[in-house]
Each structure stands twice: as C-alpha cells, then as structure tokens.
C-alpha cells in the first residue's frame, strides 16, 4: 500500500508540474491544436479534410468581435476570477428541473476546456476544468485568456478561431469585422456545426440583434485595466 501511495503521489506531482509548465508555455506561444480539433477530425467521414485554424494576435482581432464574445458569453469576464458563481447557481437550479440554460461557464472555463481538455460532462472533466481555469486565471492576463479563447473556439464546421471564421463566413480578416458581423459569428457558438452566421436564420438574426444591443450597453472594452 505504501508503494502504491508513493506511486500515486509521484503521478500527481508530475501532472501538476506538467500542467503548470504547459500553461506557462501557452502564456507566450500560440496554441497550435486543441483536443476538440483532433476529435472532430477523427469523427469526420472525410479523413483528408483538415480543420481551418489561423492564429492571429488579439490586436488583429476586431474590438467588435472581442466585445461581442464578452457580451454574449460572459459579461462579468473582467470582474470575476474565472467563475461566475451566480450563473453557476442559476444553471444548477434550472438543471435540477430538467432545463438547460446558457451561461453557466465563463470564458475562462470555456478556454480551459477547449485548450487542455475534452468535451464531456463527467465530474472528472469538470474537476480538471476547475483546476485549469484556476491556473490560467493565475498565470495569464485577461487579455491573453480572451486571445486564446477567440483563437481556439469552434465557430463553424471545421472552423476554429476568429480569423478562420471571419474568412469563412464573411470573406474578410477578423480585424475588419463590423459589430453586426462579429455578433453573427458569436451567435453560432451554442451549436457552431448546425447554425450559420451568414446567411443568418431567424434565430441567429434575433441573437445577433440582442448581442449588438448588449454591446452598446456595455460600452468601451478595456482589457488592460
């Protein structure tokens, strides 16, 4: 039992060391691939079809898209430390009633899941998500978290990140998106493989209008504060 215990402790220490090292690495280095990209690729019937993912720095991503993502996904992003307790409590109460709502996970949590983990609803994955969320909130800046998020999230069928999504949906660079185009791209995030940013369905059109309205209420975005 002692040998087994020492072995498990060593495994745990190695995991902690490697995970912290990886988070420090991605503080400075673009994330080349995520687990979800690999999973989607292996699921594809066209094995030769590669995903589209063009990393760009946050200064080359339109402020409109940055703000649209925050207004749609996590309006308390700049104020919390990785977890929106109120949103989590609301999601928990609704889930107990058999309902599902958007908003339980913050941008930080989604980034931790997208970059380091796999899509799953198990307690193990949720526990690891909490751990990695704590790490990136401790080691990265808010600006870096948003930069990684906007470069890694799935925004269409085989489309990952702001630059690839902008070119796919609107034939332009992410730096040139206007407010309505940015809101349209963010509107597909609940189900990016089925929703279309352009041309937009009635549902996406309504979501787009709501997000633009929230952007106006939110005001100027300052990630440096």
Report the distance separating Cα 13 and Cα 17, nearest Å.
Answer: 6
Chain centre distance of CA 156? 13
Indicate yes or no: pTM above 0.85.
Answer: yes
Work out the pLDDT band at 98, boundaries 50, 70, 90.
Answer: low
Report yes or no: 188 and 196 within 8 Å, Cβ to Cβ: yes
pLDDT of residue 92: 56
Q: d(Cα 58, Cα 40) in Å, to the nearest integer?
A: 25
Class of domain 26-218: mainly alpha
User: Tell me: the pLDDT tens digits for 122-142?
Assistant: 899 999 999 999 999 999 999
Cα–Cα distance measured from residue 42 to residue 90, given in angstroms and rounded to the nearest whole number: 35
What are the residue boundaries of the structural domains of the chain, listed by start?
Answer: 26-218
């Amino acid at each position: 039992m002692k040998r087994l215990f020492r072995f498990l402790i060593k495994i745990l220490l190695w995991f902690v060391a490697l995970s912290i090292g990886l988070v420090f690495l991605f503080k400075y280095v673009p994330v080349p691939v995520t687990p979800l990209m690999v999973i989607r690729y292996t699921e594809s019937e066209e094995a030769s079809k590669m995903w589209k993912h063009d990393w760009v720095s946050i200064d080359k991503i339109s402020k409109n898209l940055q703000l649209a993502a925050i207004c749609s996904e996590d309006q308390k992003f700049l104020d919390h430390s990785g977890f929106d307790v109120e949103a989590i409590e609301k999601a928990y109460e609704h889930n107990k009633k058999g309902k599902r709502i958007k908003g339980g996970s913050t941008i930080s949590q989604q980034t931790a899941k997208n970059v380091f983990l796999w899509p799953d609803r198990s307690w193990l994955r949720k526990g690891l998500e909490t751990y990695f969320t704590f790490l990136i909130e401790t080691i990265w800046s808010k600006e870096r978290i948003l930069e990684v998020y906007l470069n890694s999230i799935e925004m269409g069928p085989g489309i990952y990140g702001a630059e690839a999504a902008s070119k796919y949906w609107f034939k332009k660079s992410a730096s040139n998106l206007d407010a309505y185009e940015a809101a349209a791209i963010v509107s597909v995030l609940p189900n990016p493989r089925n929703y279309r940013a352009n041309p937009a369905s009635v549902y996406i059109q309504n979501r787009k209008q709501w997000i633009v309205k929230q952007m106006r209420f939110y005001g100027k975005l300052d990630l440096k504060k």
